Structure 1
């Protein structure tokens, strides 16, 4: 019981500190103005952070994040597509399936490219109606997934056609670029905080 109480002491100190600041803010106009400004800056910072994080999953937030320059875009440099590391330490790429665009996580530990059911549906990708679904091992256990084929997938100057993928409601809103895509490239590597993808036959970026 004592250990549990001791672990909560910093929270009580934080609450006490906030109460003291609020009392001072009410008593002194200058302090109140400083506190109001600090809260406004903190609120704006939190909103920017949330937009940047949510932009990786939601296209609407991604457009806002791009407008605010919260995340560096991938760029085609010569015959390579370069993707800067995101603030979370991962590499996220802008992927196009026809007119549908999604930001997907590049995961060299994933054997096959995986799409959420929402992304597959939006891109018009129909899963094979097989009585024997693929069983995928994840950090959260085994997942049953259906297989499908993407007619065309674009990342920068790279085009992959007839790419096998898996899809499942269990993926939530997560879309992942796996090794079956990376292995089709001429090469891929990480230099510092940049992922570099080199296709066998570079295409014009669109």
Structure 2
């Protein structure tokens, strides 16, 4: 790697630091632990700083594990819904803040069963995990041809299904095509086939804003 490449990499890292709350918190906790340990022998406050920093590092580790668990089926012991920013309905629109992992996560219900969905504009179809499909009573479509989808574990075969109702915020979609994706743990994905039903969607100030269809264009604004 030449000097220019090293400089560019360093510049990218420095530019991205303010955007990563976890990175800033980790650096602060490490510095606090080092400083606290250094002055612990002379002042009691040093022990307090070191202990607080250690607790903070442990909390950061838990948050990271929760984020990773959304994508790795081997870490299903964690609860994917924890640590997600709270979505709101304002001015007739559903607003979803960017999560600390750099993705938009929607708190939705599938046939009445609550689940977290990753918004993926690169996905053609909405996908549900095998556990959620079982909970929501989703069955593979009779006579349907399996489709191939790409996951973190490679390309896998998935069965087509139909979601009766997928709802979140002030939006509800009925009769939605989806795939039951195996080997992805509890990760669920909202794809373009749902987003295209909306009146509109956009990203502003690290917030995903989703607008239902105008009244009369479909039940729940996304039919």
Q: TM-score, normalised by structure 1?
A: 0.71
Aligned length: 178
Q: CA deviation at 1:45?
A: 4.2
Q: Residue 202 of structure 2: which of 169, 174, 189 is its match? A: 189
CA change 1:142–1:62 in 2 (3 A) is: closer
Q: Which has the larger radius of gyration?
A: 1
2:164 is aligned with 1:151: yes
Indicate the SS of the match to 1:196: strand
Q: 1:126 deviation in Å?
A: 0.9
Mapping of residues 106-185 of structure 1, within 5 Å = 106-130=119-143, 132-138=145-151, 141-185=154-198
Partners of 1:171 and 1:103 in 2: how far apart? 13
Measure how far apart 1:105 and its partner are: 0.2
C-alpha distance after superposition, 1:131-155 (max 9, x if no partner): 7311224565432110000001101
Map 1:42-121 → 2, pairs under 5 A: 42-47=57-62, 49-50=63-64, 53=67, 61=79, 65=82, 70-121=83-134
Does the 8 Å CA contact 2:144/2:160 hold for their aligned counterparts? Answer: no
Q: Report the Cα distance in structure 1 between the residues aligned to 2:176 and 2:53, rounded to whole angstroms.
A: 50
Give the unaligned 5+ runs of structure 1.
1-17
Distance 1:50 1:184, change over 3 A: same
TM-score (norm 2): 0.66
Q: Distance in 2 between matches of 1:171 and 1:71?
A: 19
Give the distance between the partners of 2:151 and 2:70, measured in 1 at CA: 21
Aligned pairs (5 A) from 1:18-37: 30=44, 35-37=50-52
Q: What root-mean-square deviation, in Å, do the aligned CA atoms of Structure 1 and Structure 2 show?
A: 3.4
Measured in 1, the distance between the counterparts of 2:177 and 2:130 equals 15
Whether the aligned pair in 1 keeps the contact of 2:84 and 2:105 (CA below 8 Å) is: no
- Is the 2:87–2:169 contact (alpha carbons within 8 Å) kept by the matching residues of 1? yes
| 1:103 shift after superposition | 0.7
- Secondary structure, counterpart of 1:171 in structure 2: coil
> Structure 2: 5+ residue runs without aligned partners?
1-32
